[in-house]
């Protein structure tokens, strides 16, 4: 069984595949971090995880038989609990349905060897809470961005509408001025033409009167 199959196996029990994946990731992350820090993670009835230091030693290369010096290192180690051993050996039978019956862990049993005593369940809850908070924060940021973009678009539309209205009003005023100018210009020309005619008539009348005298 690999990790994906493990997630599928517990998906129905925790409310869905996503929740199962988050739970598995959180538990494994908590165990790894505790062991790397030198703590011992113990689950009653299942087993314990701990860090073991191996001193420098000599070993032989299986291919050449040459003696090789191996540096000091640390390795993780898992020790199965008695309940787990009994089930694997067959001295106890697995239940056909439901969860495997193991002893309930007493308070503080799932803890490391240091004074901090961080539990895997608490770490899992914290990890889940962090992921939920991150999702909510991301959702809020996305909503804020969408709202800002919509406000900018609305403001741009209003500004464009105002400019268009102003341009139309200016065009109407210019057209009205041109029409008024056209109407006024012919009237002035007609008046100018009529004035010389009156002067000519006046001159002719004066000339006739002078001739009669």
Architecture of domain 3-55+71-146 in this structure: Irregular (4.10)
> Can you tell me the distance from the alpha carbon of 89 to that of 72, in angstroms, rounded to the nearest whole number?
35
Q: How would residue 151 be classed by pLDDT, with cut points 50, 70 and 90? A: low
pLDDT digits (tens, 9 = 90+) for 105-116: 555 554 444 433
Q: Which of the residue ranges 5-9, 15-19, 129-133, 193-197 would you say has the lowest mean pLDDT? A: 193-197
> Residue ranges per domain, the chain?
3-55+71-146, 147-213
Q: How far is the CA of 74 from the CAs of 50, 60, 71, 212, in angstroms?
A: 10, 20, 10, 148
């Amino acid at each position: 069984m690999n990790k994906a199959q493990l997630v599928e196996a517990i998906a129905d029990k925790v409310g869905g595949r996503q929740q199962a994946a988050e739970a598995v990731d959180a538990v494994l992350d908590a165990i790894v971090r505790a062991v790397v820090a030198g703590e011992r993670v113990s689950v009653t009835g299942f087993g314990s995880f701990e860090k073991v230091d191996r001193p420098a030693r000599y070993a032989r290369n299986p291919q050449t038989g040459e003696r090789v010096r191996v540096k000091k290192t640390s390795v993780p180690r898992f020790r199965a609990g008695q309940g787990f051993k009994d089930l694997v050996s067959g001295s106890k039978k697995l239940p056909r349905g439901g969860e495997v019956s193991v002893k309930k862990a007493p308070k503080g049993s799932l803890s490391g060897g240091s004074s901090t005593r961080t539990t895997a369940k608490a770490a899992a809850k914290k990890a889940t809470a962090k992921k939920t908070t991150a999702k909510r924060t991301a959702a809020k940021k996305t909503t804020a961005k969408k709202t800002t973009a919509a406000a900018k678009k609305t403001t741009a539309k209003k500004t464009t509408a105002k400019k268009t209205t102003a341009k139309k009003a200016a065009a109407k005023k210019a057209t009205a001025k041109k029409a008024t100018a056209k109407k006024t210009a012919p009237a002035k020309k007609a008046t100018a033409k009529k004035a010389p005619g009156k002067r000519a008539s006046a001159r002719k009348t004066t000339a006739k009167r002078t001739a009669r005298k």
